[in-house]
A and B are shown apart, each in its own frame.
Chain A
Amino acid sequence: MANVTEAHGVLQGDYVTLRRMRVDDAAITFGWRQAERARMLNAGAANVEQQANWIAGRPASEYNYIIELNNGTPIGMLSLVGVDKTNRHAETGRFLIGEEEAAKGVPAAVEAMKLLYELAFDELKLVRVHGTVASENKLMLKWQKYLGMKEEGRLRQHYFIDGSWQDAVCLGLLEEEYRSVSLPRMAVLMKVGAKPA
């Protein structure tokens, strides 16, 4: 297991580090949200100032991270929100690799998700995480299901994206599925990604 402790606002992996998002990340995160790849996400801020205000307004209970390569290059973002310590569940989301070229050849997305799951299941002792993905975001749906999430339902016409309605596909992952499916598959993808060509 990577060195996962959130005590200092940092989750340290072998390839990437998750550090808490700051207001001065507004410009770069706003830029990522404007990119083609982010078209399947919910509409975000209209400008950098709004993005800064949004970041500043995040409640302390949310874990909003910037994904950095271990050379310090920020490449994306990822969050764990809605942490319910009574019912021991939370929602993953805001997952975006914004610097695709910098991330190529590095198992960055996989390790970032692994670090977030380690925070959720190992440190926060949650029993379940869940999230929603737009129904036309087929790559993300395949990816989340491959890594263990199960489809639990649909919210019909939940998102208005690119001028049309899309369902929200509700996905969930239980702790035992994280340990039996997610961790082995993440290990494989990290090993594949780490092999020199």
Chain B
Amino acid sequence: MLTRDGVLEIIFRALNNLNDEMGPDDKFDVTPTTKLFGADATLDSLALVSVIVDVEGDVSSALDRSISLTDDRAMSQKISPFDDVQTLLNYIMELVNEA
């Protein structure tokens, strides 16, 4: 079973992968409260896609079933899953906890 800590690790790994691709001036701090996309965002859309692709892949592998972070359900959330690390973590845990 994928735990909350396990999902957080996956998110951090995706953000660290992204940091590896960034130039020195664009690197950002990866913390549980890092803002992602939207107002006051850390990421632009190129960076967000990198995170989406990495996280979807790693979570799907860990669960042995495919999950999508950009389907209609994700888009209909009152709070965007991509506001910050916590909102993304909370949304993924919803998906994880579904049998």
Contacts and interface: CB of A to CB of B under 8 A. Distances in A.
A107 B45 contact: yes
B47 A139 contact: yes
Interface stretch (B1-9, B19-27, B58-66): B19-27
Interface string A129-149: 000000000111011001100
Contact of A105 (B23, B24, B38, B80): B38
A49 interface: no
Interface in B19-63: 21, 23-26, 35, 37-50, 52-53
A193 B75 contact: no
Interface stretch (A63-71, A152-160, A184-192): A184-192
Interface residues of B, number: 30
A193 B41 CA distance: 9
Interface in A89-135: 97, 100, 103-105, 107-110
A156 B35 CA distance: 38
A193 B53 CA distance: 17
Contacts of B35: 197
Contacts of B26: 36-37, 100
Interface of B: 18, 21, 23-26, 35, 37-50, 52-53, 70, 74-75, 80, 82-84
